[in-house]
C-alpha cells in the first residue's frame, strides 16, 4: 500500500500522481510613522497538502474511489495520513475534492478522471488509534532498519534487496494482470482497447524493472541461483507481453491483449512459485542471519 488517509487506502496502482506540501507562518504588521511597517511573528499557519489522483477503470472503480473521498469530506472528521513506509505525516481535515472527468463510456459511466484532494492540518487533539497501512510489516521486513523518523543510513544486504524487489515485482504483476483482465472484457470493442494500449504497456514495463533487480540481487547470494532463474523466467514472460503489445494495431489488438495477458499471468505464477523460498529468506532476515 502506498498510503492511507483515515480508512481510505491508496494502492500503488492508484497512488497520487502529484503531492504538493504548503507550510506558512503568520506575521502581524505594526505601522510606523515615516517608515515601513514592522513585522512580528505571531505563530505558524496550518500545513496544507494537495493530492492529485489519476483514476482509471482499468485500475479500479473510479466512481467508488471518488464517493469514498466525498463521504469523508462530508463527515467533517480529522483523518490521519500515514505513508506505506510508516511515515506519519499528521492529522488533516479534508477540505476539498475536485473531479475532472477525462473519459466516459457510451452510457456515461466514468472511465478516467483526475481528482484533486485538499487537506488542511488539524490542530486539535486526535485520540483514535493511528491506521497501520497494509504491508507495513512487510516493508519493514524488506528493510528492517527503516523506522518512522529514522534518519540513519541503513546498510541493506543482498537478501533484503532481493526480498524488496520480489515484493515490488509481485505487487506490479498483480496490478498488471488485473488490468489485462479488465481489458479482455472490452474484447468486443477494439477501438476502446486501443485507447488502453499505452496504459497496459506502461504497467507491463513497470513490472519488468523489479524483476531485473531481483536477478541482480539474487546473483549476489551464495545460494541464489534458483531465484536468479525464477526472476529470469518471469522477466522473459513480461518481455513477451511487451513484444505482443508493440506496436498496438486496431486490426489485431484483441489478440494482442489476449496473448500479452497470458504471458503476464505466467510471469505472476512463476514468481508465486518461489514464495516458499522467499519466506525462508525473510525468516533469515528476521533472525538476523541475512
Region 191-201: mean pLDDT is 85
pLDDT attached to residue 80: 86
pTM: 0.49
Ordered DSSP codes for 198-249: HHHHHHHHHHHHHHHHHHHHHHTSTT-HHHHHHHHHHHHHHHHHHHHHSS--
Instruction: Over range 253-264, report the average pLDDT.
Output: 91
Identify the burial level of 205 via C-beta atoms within 10 angstroms of its C-beta, where 0-12 means exposed, 13-18 middle and 19 or more buried.
Answer: middle
Q: Are strands 48-56 and 18-22 parallel, antiparallel or unpaired?
A: antiparallel
Q: What are the C-alpha distances in Å from 260 to residues 12, 138, 230, 233, 273?
A: 21, 30, 19, 15, 20
Domains of the chain: 3-27+40-131 (2.40.30), 158-287 (1.20.120)
User: Residue 265: helix, strand or coil by DSSP?
Assistant: helix
Has residue 155 got a pLDDT over 70? no
pLDDT at 284: 72
| Strand 8-10 relative to strand 3-5, pairing | antiparallel
Mean pLDDT within 257-274: 92
Q: Please choose, from the candidates 22, 21, 5, 15, the residue with its C-alpha nearest in 3D space to the C-alpha of residue 94.
A: 5
Residue 265 is placed in which grid cell? 499471468
Please determine, for residue 288, whether its predicted confidence score (pLDDT) is greater than 60.
Answer: no
Amino acid at each position: 500500500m502506498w498510503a492511507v488517509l483515515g480508512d481510505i487506502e491508496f494502492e500503488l496502482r492508484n497512488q497520487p500522481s502529484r503531492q504538493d506540501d504548503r507550510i506558512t507562518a503568520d506575521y502581524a504588521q505594526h505601522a510606523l510613522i515615516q517608515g515601513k511597517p514592522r513585522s512580528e511573528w505571531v505563530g505558524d499557519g496550518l500545513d496544507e497538502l494537495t493530492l492529485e489522483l489519476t483514476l482509471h477503470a482499468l485500475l479500479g472503480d473510479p466512481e467508488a474511489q471518488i464517493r469514498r473521498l466525498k463521504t469523508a469530506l462530508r463527515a467533517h472528521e480529522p483523518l490521519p495520513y500515514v505513508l506505506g513506509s510508516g511515515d506519519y505525516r499528521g492529522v488533516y481535515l479534508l477540505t476539498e475534492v475536485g473531479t475532472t472527468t477525462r473519459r466516459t463510456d457510451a452510457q456515461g459511466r466514468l472511465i478516467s478522471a483526475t481528482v484533486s484532494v485538499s487537506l488542511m492540518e488539524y490542530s486539535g487533539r486526535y485520540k483514535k488509534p493511528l491506521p497501520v497501512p497494509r504491508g507495513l510489516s512487510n516493508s519493514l521486513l524488506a528493510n528492517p532498519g527503516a523506522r518512522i523518523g529514522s534518519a540513519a543510513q541503513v546498510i541493506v544486504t543482498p537478501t533484503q534487496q532481493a526480498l524488496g524487489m520480489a515484493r515490488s515485482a509481485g505487487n506490479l504483476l498483480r496490478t498488471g494482470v488485473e488490468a489485462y483482465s479488465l481489458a479482455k472484457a472490452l474484447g468486443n470493442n477494439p477501438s476502446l482497447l486501443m485507447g488502453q494500449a499505452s496504459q497496459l504497456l506502461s504497467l507491463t514495463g513497470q513490472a519488468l524493472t523489479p524483476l531485473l533487480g531481483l536477478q541482480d540481487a539474487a546473483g549476489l547470494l551464495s545460494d541464489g541461483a534458483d531465484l536468479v532463474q525464477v526472476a529470469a523466467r518471469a522477466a522473459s514472460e513480461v518481455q513477451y507481453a511487451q513484444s505482443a503489445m508493440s506496436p498496438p494495431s486496431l486490426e489485431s489488438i484483441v489478440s494482442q491483449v489476449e496473448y500479452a495477458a497470458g504471458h503476464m499471468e505466467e510471469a505472476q505464477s512463476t514468481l508465486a512459485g518461489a514464495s516458499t523460498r522467499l519466506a525462508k529468506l525473510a525468516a533469515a532476515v528476521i533472525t538476523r542471519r541475512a
